[in-house]
Amino acid sequence: MFAADGSPRSGPPLPQDVAGPLCFAGDLVARARELPRIEAGDLVVLPDTGGYCASAPWGYNSVPRPAVHGFVRAGDGFRFTAVRAEQSLAEVVAEAGGARPDALLDLS
């Protein structure tokens, strides 16, 4: 777990629930997990989970597709590159039919 500035989060462990951004029970990743206090803006890393990967279908609750980044180890650290940009709000609206808001009226 990392603070919003990228530094590792530390502190006394507290029982906390960890959930993703979707509104269904399957998005609860951990219940009462002992972690340093999670603050707004912190990054909680869930490696190898698969649920939020590039091949998973998106569009549920109009949640924008996240950016995809690749990385390689480089000496003592890592090098990152953007593979795909995050989906914009305009793209979410267009995908949901926003480009033709009266399309169903054509059926009458």
Give catalytic residue positions.
23
Residue 89, H or E segment:
helix 89-93
Q: Residue 65, Cβ neighbours under 10 Å: how many?
A: 19
Q: Which amino acid is at 40?
A: A
